[in-house]
Amino acid sequence: MDKKNPSAGAALDRQMLRHAVATLAYRARKPLSDAPADFSEFRAGESVRTPGQILAHLGDLIDWVLSLAKGKQEWRGSKVLPWQEGVERFYKSLGALDAYLACDAPLGETPEKLFQGAIADSLTHVGQLAILRRLAGAPIRGENFHKAEIAVGRVGADQAAPKLEF
């Protein structure tokens, strides 16, 4: 942090959070896109959440982290939507979170707490969806994410093409 300008450190923290949100959007694109019609209800096991339940939870997590960023804690357990509607909700929520992080409004929680909770949890759930795609017979290609073109502010389904898949 710049000791002469403490707000410079806060701006960097927000920029890093925005990069994390953009990374989440980029990584989510593959398991969320072109899913088979019955993927939302796929059951890998009796006690395993369905992809539709995970997607609803992802939307709830992003809405929750936005509420925390705004200084209030609001959690709601949403019902499972049809797959495409759930995908649209997820990206809309990411857009709202990114817009808040891009403005000058104060954060109601530390950047570290915002990341370590809902954002990191969301990355885990995106990985679960990728595994469930494989188990459901609709695998997605692996990718070297270090080479990915991830841009702060690009948090919708429209992402750059992969640079190196395997």
pLDDT digit string, tens, across residues 133-152: 999 999 999 999 999 999 99
Domain annotation covers residue 102: yes
Q: Around Cβ 61, how many Cβ atoms within 10 Å?
A: 22
Domain annotation covers residue 61: yes
Q: How far apart are CA 96 and CA 16, in angstroms?
A: 16
Domain annotation covers residue 79: yes
Domain tally for the chain? 1
Instruction: Give 135's contacts (C-beta < 8 A, 6+ positions apart).
Output: 42, 44
How many DSSP H helices and E strands does the chain contain? 5, 0
The CATH number for 84's domain is: 1.20.120.450
Specify which residues 11 forms β-bridges with. Answer: none
SS3 131: helix
C-alpha closest to that of 102 among 51, 27, 28, 152: 152
pLDDT at 11: 87
What single DSSP character describes residue 146?
G
Domain annotation covers residue 158: no
pLDDT at 144: 97
Q: Residue 82 sits in which domain range?
A: 6-147
Domain annotation covers residue 133: yes
Contact 40, 50 (CB under 8 A): yes
Domain annotation covers residue 160: no
Domain annotation covers residue 73: yes
Q: What is the pLDDT of residues 80-125, one digit of tens each?
A: 999 999 999 999 999 999 999 999 999 999 999 999 999 999 999 9
What are the backbone dihedrals phi and psi of residue 132, each rounded to the nearest 5 degrees, phi first?
-65, -35
Entry pTM: 0.94
Say yes or no to pLDDT of 131 above 80. yes
Say yes or no to pLDDT of 7 above 90. no
Domain annotation covers residue 162: no
